[in-house]
Structure 1
Amino acid sequence: MSDPSPLDPRLEALLDKQAITELVYAYCNAADRHDNDKMRSLYHEDAIDEHGQFFQGPAMEFIDALPGIQENMLILHHNVTTLNIVLDGDRAEGEVYILAFHQVAVDGGAMDVLIGGRYFDKYEKRDGVWKYTHRAVVADWVKVDPETTVDLEHPMIEGSRIGTPGQADPSYSFFEIFNWGKGPHQYR
């Protein structure tokens, strides 16, 4: 039996870029849900993470520190807007534009922080799987409201499921196929 013919390089590049895109989306989900086990699965063991004042160093140590970093973050909501990905064999780089909303508990109340920024990413495919080797956060602008304007009791959302950090988020009980980090859907 002969080996199957190799994929057209254009198709292989498209598949690699899609895998990296799913990795980026999985990062946003893991951050927003405070799912640090999922977050850990997205980085290679020797990866680096630069997260401004919060952390600079080995990504696994960053993930170990996340519970303390996230403890006062009531809402995290990361939105990817533009992805620029360049491939070089089993290495790639990405400039990922994001809008990240944070509702942060402060002195018995909460404040809102909206950040427009980018991730500068380096990825490697090892054993057929793309993961981060280096991620650096870049802030382009920030808007801070010292008092939150979020109203999760407004009549417009009455009866809606309300997102929360952690396993209590309704996505964990609603979805059956995603499996959130388990089974064949690696990044979901």
Structure 2
Amino acid sequence: MISPSMEKQLQELLDKQALYELICAYCNAADRHDHDKMRALYHEDAIDDHGHYSKGPAKDFIDKLPQIQAAMEILHHNVTTVNLKLDGDKAEGEVYIIAFHKVREGERSYDMLIGGRYFDKYEKRDGVWKFSYRSIVADWAYPQDPSAVRMDHPMLTGAYIGKPGPVDPSYAFFSLFQRGQR
């Protein structure tokens, strides 16, 4: 028999795990340019604030992603510290990230390493946690122009090479992780 306080703690752990998986799914969707998956992570009426890229309905931001990501040869989001607070079917999160971008503009290619945080609001509707509001906060940026990324280094010989979109080797390797699915 589980006590009511233990049941409450267990539910909080389950909710926090679901939120953590949501946060990680966002990184995967962004890095793989998986816009269907990205759309599934937000409530229909959610707001996303990505600075000059988009500020408003999350669906508008996701609609712009193909254009935003077109120049990004590499996207690599890494979640570090995750602070979550729950209040029933609502929650807030301050999520620290380090995000690497390799950008190509014509013949020019540069790198941008950004340290920042997401300020998130989440809601559990019909038993499913999704973003209701997400805002990016930049704490620091480290540009490298021209790009210092070298995928032809001998240490990488024979390794899978990550790529944006459905050609990423993860889609051929995994059977349980499917494009467009949470």
Inter-partner Cα distance in structure 1 for 2:144 and 2:153: 19
Inter-partner Cα distance in structure 2 for 1:139 and 1:102: 14
Residue 177 of structure 1: CA displacement? 1.7
Contact 2:34 2:179 in 1 (8 A): no
Residue 75 of structure 1: CA displacement? 0.3
Residue 107 of structure 1: CA displacement? 3.3
Equivalent residue for 1:54?
A: 53
Contact 2:47 2:134 in 1 (8 A): yes
Equivalent residue for 1:175?
A: 174
Residue 181 of structure 1: CA displacement? 4.2
Equivalent residue for 1:121?
A: 120
Partner SS state of residue 54, structure 1: coil
Q: Cα deviations across residues 77-133 of structure 1 (Å, max 9, x unaligned)?
A: 000000000000000000000000000002313100000000000000000000000
Inter-partner Cα distance in structure 2 for 1:177 and 1:31: 19
Matched, 1:35 2:34: yes
Inter-partner Cα distance in structure 2 for 1:58 and 1:105: 28
Calculate the TM-score normalised by the size of structure 2.
0.95
Matched, 1:69 2:104: no
Residue 146 of structure 1: CA displacement? 1.2
Equivalent residue for 2:19?
A: 20
Percent identity reads 62
Inter-partner Cα distance in structure 1 for 2:45 and 2:148: 40
Give the residue type in structure 2 aligned to 1:135.
R
Contact 2:35 2:180 in 1 (8 A): no
Q: Cα deviations across residues 5-28 of structure 1 (Å, max 9, x unaligned)?
A: 977000000000000000000000
Give the residue type in structure 2 aligned to 1:147.
P
RMSD: 1.5
Inter-partner Cα distance in structure 1 for 2:150 and 2:110: 12
Give the residue type in structure 2 aligned to 1:137.
I
Name structure 1 gaps, 5 residues minimum.
none
Equivalent residue for 2:94?
A: 95
Q: Cα deviations across residues 42-99 of structure 1 (Å, max 9, x unaligned)?
A: 0000000000111100000110011111110110000000000000000000000000
Partner SS state of residue 111, structure 2: strand
Equivalent residue for 2:104?
A: 105
- Which consecutive segments of 4 or more residues in structure 1 shift more than 3 A? none
Name structure 2 gaps, 5 residues minimum.
none
The number of residue pairs the alignment matches comes to 180
Give the residue type in structure 2 aligned to 1:90.
D
